[in-house]
Amino acid sequence: MRFRERFNNILSGVIGGIIIPVTAFLIFFLATRNGLSFSGYLDKVTEAGNVSEVMSISVFANIIIFLIFNRLDMLRAAKGVLGITIVWAFVIFGIKLF
């Protein structure tokens, strides 16, 4: 019970909503790098024009933490995850436009 009280706030959700996509991107990088270095991989993704697609896949991982917070009845933390996911969506939309 102490865990829920301690981490049931919007800041925990925002931090989780930032860390999970970054972690998902690193896992995606390790799975698809084909021997490239990190900077080489970023160059390849940028040249191919797939930045928004890779970011979308990474941010999609936020649904996992959102559902966990929702299941544990940590609704304030779930709001934080939802809010940062909406911010990520606007960033991806902006990248796709330009």
9 within 8 A of 80, measured Cβ to Cβ: yes
pLDDT digits (tens, 9 = 90+) for 10-30: 999 999 999 999 999 999 999
pLDDT of residue 56: 94
In angstroms, the CA 92 to CA 66 distance is 19
81 within 8 A of 66, measured Cβ to Cβ: yes
Closest residue by Cα to residue 28 from 10, 45, 3: 45
77 within 8 A of 69, measured Cβ to Cβ: yes
Whole-model pTM over 0.85: yes
